[in-house]
Amino acid sequence: MKVLIVGGGGREHAIAWKLTQSPKVNKIYCAPGNAGIADVAECIAVKAEDIDGICKFAKESEIDLAVIGPEVPLAMGIVDELEKAGVKTFGPNKKCAQLEASKAFTKAFLDRHNIPTAGYKEFTDKEKLLKSVGIYGYPMVIKADGLAAGKGVVIAETEAEAVKAIEEMMGEKVFGSAGDKIVVEEYLTGIEASMLCFVDEHTIIPMESAQDYKRIFDGDKGPNTGGMGTYSPSLVFNKDLEERIRTEILNPTLEGFQKDGLDFRGVLFIGLMIGEDGPKVIEFNNRFGDPETQSVLLRLETDLFDIFDAVVDNKLADVNIKWSDQKAVCVVLASGGYPGDYEKGKIIHGLNRVDQDVMVFHAGTKSEERTVHMGDNGCGIIAKTESVVVTDGGRVLGVAVLGDTHEEAREKAFDNVKKLSFDGMQYRNDIGLIVRK
């Protein structure tokens, strides 16, 4: 089988790596991929948002299965277009992709099907919203309705902060049309956790849990990022909680999809707040999480191609998904300055020094030819051109490891993190550090 993976981050590297283990997969392409993905797949120079380019390539190359990583092409309707072109595709269609692309769509869905979530109101008129600041008290949760690369949520502590956020989203349009509509929510307290599920039209199966670290600095300090690391399984979950999530959230969600004619086939990523009165949905994403996927797929024992294929054919119920009991830790190495401005093009050192059983998933990297000065031999400067791997994004690498315990995995991950370096490299030291109360 020939598989095309759309995307070029750590999540896509983990998916590509896992698919190399399938005896059914004999060729993997990735659009656009990155320097690490190039080790396990053939990277093609087509951007993930170039839907025409992707469809053309998939048809010409007779792709048997396309797998979509990121949310933007999903929201643009890449699945509908690939299916029209006759290409089997893993991921939700445009209608279902609204579950991530519109917060108001998701809130209305949750409300309609009595799925626990924060109370909310939506606004399209800035003046009306400004008159309603503080409707649920403070902190005030203000969300741009559309996709904003994970930056569209502001938790305003004061009226002044709320007014500033509203002016930025609706007045200055910092997120473009994503801020035309704003959702204001009740502030929820508790412990945050996410649950990734495989979903087809008849079945929803949670994957093993993973805990993400969203803030940039140790101890959950500093601004939010795309995710600075994960460990799996998450210690937030236990059997009772999983049962409540199954009956109060997963089952009604699947029934809701069926009632609303949402033929969701792909990964549903549920952001949860576990409070005193039980689990509530914070948000839905409709794709694998990044870097949750890096930890979770390390523990998957079942052929990932079989799962993808079954989901697309609505046969997920027939697959017996098995997981390793081992624990996983993934530490993200990010560029200096991230999640704010950062420089690219820094040479990454040490990639060939990491242990054999450690996976270094590339998130933002590319290969480049660089001229390296070797010195002066008296007759002139000696230089040679060599291929190097350089940084090309905010999150650069994810060092992912299995161990018999969280502590063992964590120790091994950090031993290997120390072998890697690039100018400005930053990472959190507390990934996988389980604080037991």
One-letter amino acid of 238? N
Grouping H, G, I as helix, E, B as strand and the rest as coil, residue 395 is strand
* Contact residue for ligand GLY among 285, 286, 335, 391 (CB under 6 A): 285
CB 89 within 8 A of CB 83: yes
Q: Residue 429 Cβ, how far from ligand GLY at the closest point, in Å?
A: 19
Q: Which residues of 96-128 are buried (b: 16+ CB within 10 A; e: fewer)?
A: bbbbbbbbbbbbebbeebebbbbebbbbeeeee
Grouping H, G, I as helix, E, B as strand and the rest as coil, residue 431 is coil
Q: Which residues of 148-159 are buried (b: 16+ CB within 10 A; e: fewer)?
A: beebbbbbbeee
Which residues are bridge partners to 305 per DSSP?
none
Q: Nearer Cβ to ligand GLY, position 226 or 390?
A: 226
- The interface partner of residue 163, options being ligand GLY, ligand AMP, none and the CB cut-off 5 to 8 Å by kind, is none
* Contact residue for ligand GLY among 81, 100, 185, 292 (CB under 6 A): 292
If one asks whether residue 282 binds ligand AMP (CB under 6 A), the answer comes out as: yes
* Contact residue for ligand GLY among 50, 64, 212, 309 (CB under 6 A): 212
What ranges make up the beta strands (E) of 174-220? 182-185, 191-199, 204-206, 211-212, 215-217
If one asks whether residue 188 binds ligand AMP (CB under 6 A), the answer comes out as: yes
The pair of structure tokens assigned to 278 is 């039980």
Q: Nearer Cβ to ligand GLY, position 290 or 303?
A: 290
Among residues 251, 311, 231, which one has the least CA distance to residue 65?
311
- The interface partner of residue 227, options being ligand GLY, ligand AMP, none and the CB cut-off 5 to 8 Å by kind, is ligand GLY
Grouping H, G, I as helix, E, B as strand and the rest as coil, residue 223 is strand
- The interface partner of residue 212, options being ligand AMP, ligand GLY, none and the CB cut-off 5 to 8 Å by kind, is ligand GLY
- The interface partner of residue 289, options being ligand GLY, ligand AMP, none and the CB cut-off 5 to 8 Å by kind, is ligand GLY
Q: Residue 216 Cβ, how far from ligand GLY at the closest point, in Å?
A: 13
The pair of structure tokens assigned to 387 is 């291929």
- The interface partner of residue 208, options being ligand GLY, ligand AMP, none and the CB cut-off 5 to 8 Å by kind, is none
If one asks whether residue 227 binds ligand GLY (CB under 6 A), the answer comes out as: yes
If one asks whether residue 289 binds ligand GLY (CB under 6 A), the answer comes out as: yes
Q: Nearer Cβ to ligand AMP, position 29 or 284?
A: 284
List, in order, residues 6 or more apart from 179 with CB less than 8 Å away: 144, 145, 146, 148, 152, 168, 169, 170, 173
Grouping H, G, I as helix, E, B as strand and the rest as coil, residue 177 is helix
If one asks whether residue 100 binds ligand GLY (CB under 6 A), the answer comes out as: no
Sheet holding 65-68, edge to edge: 42-43, 27-32, 2-7, 65-68, 89-90
Q: Nearer Cβ to ligand GLY, position 285 or 365?
A: 285
Q: Residue 333 Cβ, how far from ligand AMP at the closest point, in Å?
A: 22
Residues 216-255: x/- map of binding to ligand AMP (CB under 6 A)?
Answer: ----------------------------------------
Burial (CB count within 10 angstroms: exposed 0-12, middle 13-18, buried 19+), residue 287 = buried
If one asks whether residue 108 binds ligand AMP (CB under 6 A), the answer comes out as: no
Q: Residue 150 Cβ, how far from ligand AMP at the closest point, in Å?
A: 6
- Residues binding ligand AMP (CB under 6 A): 118, 141, 143, 153, 155, 185-188, 192, 271, 282-283
Q: Which residues bind ligand GLY (CB under 6 A)?
A: 212, 226-227, 285, 289-290, 292
